[in-house]
Amino acid sequence: MYLKVSPMKGVQRFRVKRKLAPRYMGPYRILERKGKVAYKVQLTVELRAVFPVFHVSQLKKCLRVSKERVEVRISS
């Protein structure tokens, strides 16, 4: 599944503004279901600071795994 990271107004994500910013990242593997509307996701090492449980509204079904992948770089 893909994780929704669509930009909010005035927020810069991945050093790209507005229309060119990625809307979804992934694909990621679902590890387990937490409650009725939340899922635990296996994130990459770069995203270790992010809590791995997401609401279903933040997830998008992955129909096929593409060869293109958005690299995530988080600067501290």
Name the residue ranges covered by the structural domains of the chain. 2-60
pLDDT (0 to 100) of residue 70: 60
Q: Which residue has the higher pLDDT, 21 or 48?
A: 48
Predicted confidence (pLDDT) at residue 76 exceeds the cutoff of 60: no
58 vs 2, 71, 75, 76, CA distance in Å? Answer: 8, 19, 23, 24
Structural element, H or E, at residue 40 = strand 38-42
Predicted confidence (pLDDT) at residue 67 exceeds the cutoff of 70: no
